[in-house]
Amino acid sequence: MTMKKTTKKQRLFFALAPQQPADSVTALHQLTCQIDQAVPIDNLHITLAFLGMVTPAQTEAIVQAIDNHPPTGAFSATFSTLGYWRRSKVVWLGCPQPPAPLQDLVDHLYTVLAPCGIVREPRPYAPHITLAKAIKQRPTALLETLTPPALTFHFPAFGLYISTTEHAQPPSQPHAQHSVQRRALPLSGSVATVNTVIPSTRQSEQWAATVRIHNNV
């Protein structure tokens, strides 16, 4: 899907998509089915760096910076701890022992993007997958009774995501329509490009994705 040109600021972030191997994806879906107000399976991701609202000129500079200084090395990471953050009201699946390549990727992104005006958050990086949102109270029973399996995902690429909100059509539908467009960036090896649009089933959300799939990892 071709990204629409705009003169307005856009909300950008870099993230990983937990899309392989298939058995881990299936287990992740089964886990979310046990949680109220779960994020649609196709919308799950691991944020690497939040860029905030950026101008078109910044976006071009960001893409160029990554193209000029690409990170290398696909890696795997295991997510196995369930938790809740009261401030953001989310239930998450965390990575208790982040692999060095994951932290290196985050460090690399912020280093490369500093000249583009991107400021790193002061808090330590805590890789996680948000499983449910708008959970107003701590789900104590869920956290005490649900033991997630250790899910290992392989990441041959990461993505630059654009998050937008548009009013749904026709106007009789009250909910806003949210979309995220992803430009995948390889971590290693050759790639083949596949364009897909993945509809979700909750909260009138759609994810439009340009997915680059590695041939050799």
Q: Which residues contact 192 (CB under 8 A, 6 or more apart)?
A: 212, 213, 214, 215
Round to whole Å and give the CA distance between 102 and 168: 37
Residue 192 in contact with residue 215, Cβ under 8 Å? yes
108 part of the active site:
no
29, 69, 128, 178: the catalytic one is: 128
Structure token pair of residue 165? 């909100």
**What CA–CA distance (Å, rounded) separates 190 from 208?**
23
| Cα–Cα nearest to 206, from 217, 197, 196 | 197
- 175 is an active site residue: no
Q: What is the maximal distance between C-alpha atoms in the chain? A: 49
Phi/psi of residue 164, nearest 5 degrees: -130, 160
- Determine phi and psi for 109, rounding to 5 degrees: -60, -50
- Give me the catalytic one of 29, 45, 108, 154: 45
Query: Could you give the CA distance from residue 66 to residue 83 in angstroms, rounded to a whole number?
Result: 32
Q: Which of 48, 45, 98 is CA-nearest to residue 205?
A: 45
> What is the set of active-site residues?
45, 128
